Amino acid sequence: MPMGLAVIGAGYWGPNLVRTALATPAFRLDWLCDLQSERARAVLGPYTTVRATSSYEDVLADPGVAAVAIATPAATHFDLVRSALEAGKHVMVEKPLTPSAAEGEKLAALAQRSGLVLMCDHTYCYTPAVRRIRELIREGEIGELQFVDSVRINLGLVQPDVDVLWDLAPHDLSILDFVLPEEVIPVAVAAHTSDPIGARRACVAYLSVWLSNGALAHVHVNWLSPTKIRTTVFGGSRRTIVWDDTNPAGRLAVHDRGVDTLQAGTVPQDERRDALISYRTGDTLIPALPEREALMSVMAEFSAAISEGRPPLTDAQAGLRVLKLLEAASRSADSGGVRISLNGAVA
Amino acid sequence: MPMGLAVIGAGYWGPNLVRTALATPAFRLDWLCDLQSERARAVLGPYTTVRATSSYEDVLADPGVAAVAIATPAATHFDLVRSALEAGKHVMVEKPLTPSAAEGEKLAALAQRSGLVLMCDHTYCYTPAVRRIRELIREGEIGELQFVDSVRINLGLVQPDVDVLWDLAPHDLSILDFVLPEEVIPVAVAAHTSDPIGARRACVAYLSVWLSNGALAHVHVNWLSPTKIRTTVFGGSRRTIVWDDTNPAGRLAVHDRGVDTLQAGTVPQDERRDALISYRTGDTLIPALPEREALMSVMAEFSAAISEGRPPLTDAQAGLRVLKLLEAASRSADSGGVRISLNGAVA
Amino acid sequence: MPMGLAVIGAGYWGPNLVRTALATPAFRLDWLCDLQSERARAVLGPYTTVRATSSYEDVLADPGVAAVAIATPAATHFDLVRSALEAGKHVMVEKPLTPSAAEGEKLAALAQRSGLVLMCDHTYCYTPAVRRIRELIREGEIGELQFVDSVRINLGLVQPDVDVLWDLAPHDLSILDFVLPEEVIPVAVAAHTSDPIGARRACVAYLSVWLSNGALAHVHVNWLSPTKIRTTVFGGSRRTIVWDDTNPAGRLAVHDRGVDTLQAGTVPQDERRDALISYRTGDTLIPALPEREALMSVMAEFSAAISEGRPPLTDAQAGLRVLKLLEAASRSADSGGVRISLNGAVA
Amino acid sequence: MPMGLAVIGAGYWGPNLVRTALATPAFRLDWLCDLQSERARAVLGPYTTVRATSSYEDVLADPGVAAVAIATPAATHFDLVRSALEAGKHVMVEKPLTPSAAEGEKLAALAQRSGLVLMCDHTYCYTPAVRRIRELIREGEIGELQFVDSVRINLGLVQPDVDVLWDLAPHDLSILDFVLPEEVIPVAVAAHTSDPIGARRACVAYLSVWLSNGALAHVHVNWLSPTKIRTTVFGGSRRTIVWDDTNPAGRLAVHDRGVDTLQAGTVPQDERRDALISYRTGDTLIPALPEREALMSVMAEFSAAISEGRPPLTDAQAGLRVLKLLEAASRSADSGGVRISLNGAVA
């Protein structure tokens, strides 16, 4: 017996939620809601039995609706999510959870108190590539994580409401949050941004995230690049993973290549420092990955979390951790790139 | 009548200087000098008429030698260059010019007083690709420079005497220095570095360089990457150049793609801000470039500057400008990434 | 007022016809018909107003249906198309038109007599890339066509009813048919095939097509390749086009590179033959192409041809020309690769 | 104590032999001989102790010369090799061994009688990639060889004395000869060629080689391609190897991907044929390969074969096998592509 679902927002991302909801047997899509009901109707097309509406109230009042999936501008998230939770609906919401961590915390607490699922649609965490990366890192395959370098650049839509950091970096930060070993956490952030086209918001941003194990993670996001690059490198002491999300033939490569330093004590002190460094140039493995659309897995996780009464893989806490990184990054960028500790202090 | 030349240093780079000097008709290679004369002999091989020596004094005392090309560790540059200039020899020296700008300035002044050529071997500036980039930027083809992003990563030799910034970033900075429009200069620098392998020097570095026209240039250098990437993007208001130095088939691509903002005043004030942004997705041109080894052009420029009594394209001043950027970057990295103004102040 | 359309066949390709028909305002999708009505219902999903049926008769008897789009196995095409034409319906049919040219000719004649549109879904001809290639060739941009080389290989489904030639080469041959200058036609064919896995049908095939202007076109199709390659080169006397259909960043490259021979008479007879050859290594242009799904353009062309009472771009004659090439190729392969003239003789 | 060596021919390839001979301690390069002694002097440069000469007689008369390496036009090979062998010199010769198999057989017999090494410089067989391919095939890693597809195309020099088959296909055929399992031999050949630019020799050629185990090997060589492709696929029943010689980052990829057919008998006869086919889409391995210039290994093999009095890896018999394939291919091309059995009959 499928659960009733409503999708809220028929803009850029909403149609993807509609399409995957229609293909998810665990859900019965009842509504597509948009302030412009015409837009909702256009997304559904002329052949549908799904209802379009501009009334969020009607959706929330519908007892057949057990869950809502919200894809509206970030500024509306707080009100929409709160109303849904108050109406007893489970909620999935696009990134960022809310524009501020303070609001996000209120929603997380409300969901917790109400016993409802509040899930963040961190879509990339549900790709077969990122799931495998998480396994490779958490099961020790790459050894100790030494550095992360992520590039996400393209000729992108300059957003009316957010800068490039808030538009694109949530992807990289949610992936980072998802794959980091459990004992490793971000401790400080710095960001350098630039608006070279006079868009009145950052269009190019470089983000450094210091991790608790001493490693540095770096993110480059850019709306102005003529070419599309989506590559993330996870450097480890035993293996290094290169994930090229634009390369269908070999999205993930696991390289047995790297630089090793011998531990102090294992080499007589009077030998030269050079002797302490060695190089591996071993094979590269490109693992076969299942072909599965990430958003289908997102829908499956949302429905499973509801049925099983458990937090989803990417719950409100995950969304909050990403939010706090973004807030610290913005503070840093506004202060000329100063390093911001994640307990809030200038580090 | 070719000029007598001596190459100093038979280590990593010296053999390349020897090979190209042998193929340059304007020079007559007389000596290869290395503290270990065996190493010099091995580089020259058993069939040569060129003399190997371990005595720099003998080389400088040879009146047939008009010029020396120095490829020794940076720490030796100051003494070697000074002695050569004092002996009346023209000098070409590998990057960096010296370990400190203060020393570099003394050498530049000495060369100036002596009427001798002091050239920095900024090899990349002599590649057909970088020469074309300089033309495209300086002749206005790309419009106003909006951003620069340079990535130079590979599994690299952890150097015994310098960190990754001083090892690799001189390439990116000398290229930047070479191609920037004349009226645009760097004004501030910040660097974030990391040593995740316990090498006791930075192995990963991110460098932000703020330019006087408001654009941000960024450099990523990394010794630990399992894959080799050498890509620089020069974003402009009219065109964007992508230079992929590892792609023999299309090293340089000039994209007519970008984001434009309309000038205030051309759009009625009450229209939405969105209207001010437009996108171009035009053709990409991959210009045919001549096939010419950069180091052959370096040798040609060195000999031409000597013959014509003029400063070379990459003179001591170019070397000094790069040095000052590196020094500021190191200061920033040592201070946790703080922004350093190029007049020396924390910006 | 949209035209009533029925899609016949809910197997591999039918769902694509359904999806694009639903998005084409000129059509009103009335039926999806499959021998297994369950399969049709599954394709339509639970939210649709479109009817599923297993009765082709009911579809043809529906006066609201003006057109049918047929995506069933090739062996059924003759009967299904004939019935539809006899019922007064316009028809679009997947490749190949029919298993034999003789049958195809009957259908073409029937459509002609009935004044109905009979269109072949040569999908690739409607890609922006192939349309541009046709323009570049037909408008003289590449000069005289000198050679064509097409590779279409992948780990592919070994088909139960056809070999790799009939499965994949129709794509290459329909593209060739579409872009050739009007005065250039295929004159002979030879094919070498192989079944190395014991599939009892060719899994690897090489096809040579001699053209009336002396050029040779070659097609490599292969179901066993571990990597996917879809590249076609159109070599011309002035420019050469390389189309890489798997490369989203630069599907089409127009190279000003080639080998020229000077005309006899322009060089004194006593000079060496070598002098008659020269090389161009000019720029490469990657034209911006519109983003448009080919199958949407197929649907638009089908509806436009019906409305305007004109033959579609890829009409039954185009389908027949492709069929005749395939038949000749099969004859050649069955005879050990002998060259088959397209008037039917061994050439 | 190094052996005296002379290099004959200072044209396109000779300088490479000189360079590698100079770097091979087992040889002492005594002479570079070219009909134009100026050309030989230019190759050696002004700093050398190696002698240039235009007199082949002088070289052969020099008792210090134990071996010659010949890189002259093919038409001269027979006379030059015979004279050298008659003078008691070991010989390495560029491909093709001679213009005709008949001549080649005489040379092979002469070398045999004289107890001298006669080696063919099949350079590619000495690349780390081809050596690994040979191991992977001969040690059963890929299972049974099912198909070979080789593409070697580029904007190439139209040769004055040979067509594209004789210029480029020797590389592919010598590699094929080198890596085939010992019990698998070529049994028939067909070739389709084209001269679309009026060069009076084939500039584009497609070559099919049927192997004794039923597999088909195919070679595409082309002087007119604007892009350089050098890719060979070795399809096997267990693994498939893709070798991309232009890709420095991953020259060799071993794919655990393929199509399997179950053996007759293992599946009940009344089940559908489809059940007999299954697909593997496993991991891909990119083996680390040593970095070693192939021609250095050629020199090492030449000297080792001489010292050890054994046939080299690529001996005259290997050269003869390649020659016979080329001769058969030319006969086929001259007869419109008819299949030629390698015992000489039209197959």
- The answer to whether D233 and C205 are in contact (CB under 8 A) is no
Beta bridge partners of A118: A91
Residues of chain D contacting A, Cβ within 8 Å: 250, 253, 256-257, 281-288
Query: Is A286 in contact with D286 (Cβ distance < 8 A)?
Result: yes
For residue D81, the tally of other CB atoms under 10 A from its CB is: 29
- The position carrying tokens 């000398």 is B174
Beta carbons of A198 and B276 less than 8 angstroms apart: no
Residue C198: phi and psi, rounded to 5, are 70, 35
Nearest CA in chain C to D229: C231
Mark the ranges of chain C whose per-residue pLDDT is less than 70.
Answer: 249-250, 262-276, 344-347
Strand partners, D205: D193, D221
- Residue B270 has a pLDDT of 46
Shortest alpha-carbon distance between residue B240 and chain A (Å):
7
Distance CA C302, CA B129 (A): 48
CA distance C246 to chain A (A): 9
**Residue D40 DSSP class:** H
DSSP string, C179-190: HS-TT--EEEEE
Contact C256 B286 (CB under 8 A): no
Chain D residues touching chain B at CB-CB below 8 Å? 22-23, 28-29, 45-50, 227-228, 246, 248-249
- Across the interface, whether the CB atoms of B273 and A192 are under 8 A apart is answered no
Q: Which residues of A touch B153 (CB under 8 A)?
A: 149
Q: Could you tell me which CATH number the domain at C3-124+294-317 has?
A: 3.40.50.720
Q: What is the CATH number of domain A125-293+325-341?
A: 3.30.360.10
Smallest CA-to-CA distance from D29 within D81, D67, D83, D82 is with D67
Considering only CB atoms, A233 lies closest to which of B225, B261, B347, namely B225
Provide, as residue numbers in chain A, all residues whose Cβ is less than 8 Å from the Cβ of C50: 47
Q: Which of C48, C51, C227, C245 to mutate to test the interface with A (most CBs of A within 10 A)?
A: C48
- Using CB atoms, which residue from D147, D277, D337 is nearest to C204? D147
- Residue B145: other Cβ atoms inside 10 A: 22
pLDDT tens digit at each of 347 positions of chain A: 899 999 999 999 999 999 999 999 999 999 999 999 999 999 999 999 999 999 999 999 999 999 999 999 999 999 999 999 999 999 999 999 999 999 999 999 999 999 999 999 999 999 999 999 999 999 999 999 999 999 999 988 888 888 999 999 999 999 999 999 999 999 999 999 999 998 999 999 999 999 999 999 999 999 999 989 999 999 999 999 999 998 876 589 999 988 877 654 454 444 444 446 788 889 999 999 998 999 999 999 999 999 999 999 999 999 999 999 999 999 999 998 999 999 755 55
pLDDT at B257: 87
Mutation target vs A (from D283, D289, D292; most A CBs, 10 A cutoff): D283
- Report the residue of D142, D145, D152, D155 to disrupt the C interface, i.e. the one with the largest count of C CBs within 10 Å: D155
Instruction: Tell me which CATH code domain D125-292+325-341 carries.
Output: 3.30.360.10
Chain C positions in Cβ-Cβ contact with residue A227 (cut-off 8 Å): 249
What is the model's pLDDT at position D40? 97
DSSP string of D256-292, one letter each residue: EEEEEEPPTTSS-TTS-GGGGEEEEEEEEEE------
The residue of B256, B284, B291 whose CB has the most chain C CBs within 10 angstroms, and thus the best one to mutate to test that interface, is B284
SS3 C93: strand
Q: CA of A213: which chain B residue's CA is closest? A: B196
From B151, B222, B226, residue closest to A242, measured CB to CB? B226
Residues of C whose CB is below 8 A from D194 = 147, 214-216
Q: Which residues of C touch B239 (CB under 8 A)?
A: none
Taking only the tens of pLDDT, chain D with its 347 residues reads 899 999 999 999 999 999 999 999 999 999 999 999 999 999 999 999 999 999 999 999 999 999 999 999 999 999 999 999 999 999 999 999 999 999 999 999 999 999 999 999 999 999 999 999 999 999 999 999 999 999 999 988 888 888 999 999 999 999 999 999 999 999 999 999 999 998 999 999 999 999 999 999 999 999 999 989 999 999 999 999 999 998 876 589 999 988 877 654 454 444 444 446 788 889 999 999 998 999 999 999 999 999 999 999 999 999 999 999 999 999 999 998 999 999 755 55
Q: What angle separates helix A128-138 from helix A164-179, to the nearest 10 degrees?
A: 50
Alpha carbon of D162: minimum distance to chain B alpha carbons (Å): 26
> Which three-class secondary structure state does DSSP give residue C260?
strand
Do residues C119 and C199 touch, judged by C-beta distance below 8 A? Answer: no
Angle at A122 between CA A118 and CA A125, to 5 degrees: 120
Paired strand residues for D224: D155
Contact A226 B260 (CB under 8 A): no
d(CA C131, CA C285): 16
Looking at chain D, which residue has its C-alpha nearest residue C190? D337
pTM of the model: 0.93
B47 with D49: Cβ contact below 8 A? yes
Nearest to C343 by CA among C324, C330, C318: C324
Residue type, D286: I
Cross-chain residue pair B258–A155, CB shorter than 8 Å: yes
**How far, in Å, are A256, B280, C80, C235, C271 from residue D247 at the CA level?**
19, 32, 49, 24, 40
Q: Do A259 and B198 touch (CB under 8 A)?
A: no
DSSP 8-state secondary structure symbol assigned to residue C94:
P
Q: Pick one of 3.40.50.2300, 3.30.70.20, 3.40.50.720, 3.30.565.10 as the CATH number of D3-123+294-314.
A: 3.40.50.720
Residue B62: exposed, middle, or buried by beta-carbon count in 10 A (0-12, 13-18, 19+)? middle
Locate the chain C residue with the closest alpha carbon to A154. C249
SS3 assignment for A97-110:
CCCCHHHHHHHHHH
Domain ranges of chain A: 3-124+294-314, 125-293+325-341
User: Distance (Å) from the C-alpha of residue D156 to the closest C-alpha of chain C?
Assistant: 8
- Chain A residues touching C1 at Cβ < 8 A: none
| Structure letter (DSSP) for residue B158 | -
pLDDT digits (tens, 9 = 90+) for B333-344: 999 899 999 975
Token couple for C323? 């069929």
Q: What is the pLDDT of residues B227-274, one digit of tens each?
A: 899 999 999 999 999 999 988 765 899 999 888 776 544 544 444 444
Rounded distance between C-alpha atoms, residue D201 and residue D194, angstroms: 8
**What amino acid occupies position C308?**
E
Question: How is B238-250 classified by DSSP, letter by letter?
Answer: S-EEEEETT-TT-
According to DSSP, the β-strands at D240-244 and D224-236 are antiparallel
Domain A3-124+294-314: CATH class, spelled out: alpha beta
**Interface chains of chain B (3 or more CB pairs under 8 Å):** A, C, D
Give how far Cα A54 sits from Cα of A32, A35, B105, C218, C328, Å: 8, 5, 71, 57, 61
Quick one: fold of B3-122+294-314?
A: Rossmann fold (3.40.50)
Instruction: Please list every residue in chain A whose beta carbon sits closer than 8 Å to the beta carbon of residue D251.
Output: none
State the count of interchain CB pairs (< 8 A) between B and C: 30
For B44-55, the pLDDT digits (tens) are 999 999 999 999
Q: How far is the alpha carbon of B289 from chain D, nearest alpha carbon, in Å? A: 14
Q: Which residues of chain B have pLDDT under 50?
A: 264-265, 267-275
DSSP secondary structure of B221-240: EESEEEEEEEEEEEEESS-E
**Facing residue for D22 by CB, picked from B29, B45, B248:** B45
Say yes or no for a CB contact (<8 Å) between A215 and B199. no
Best of C154, C159, C208 to disrupt the D interface by mutation (most D CBs within 10 Å)?
C208
Percentage helix, strand, coil, to 5, in chain D? Answer: 35, 30, 35
pLDDT digits (tens, 9 = 90+) for A64-89: 999 999 999 999 999 999 999 999 99
- CB–CB contacts below 8 A, A to B: 153
CB atoms within 10 A of CB D114: 15
- Residues of B within an 8 Å Cβ radius of D: 22-23, 28-29, 45-50, 227-228, 246, 248-249
Chains in touch with A (3+ beta-carbon pairs under 8 Å) read B, C, D
Q: How far apart are CA B187 and CA B180, in angstroms?
A: 13
Of A199, A237, A273, the CB nearest to B160: A273
Q: Identify the pLDDT of residue C82.
A: 98
Contact call for residues A216 and B220 (beta carbons, < 8 A): no
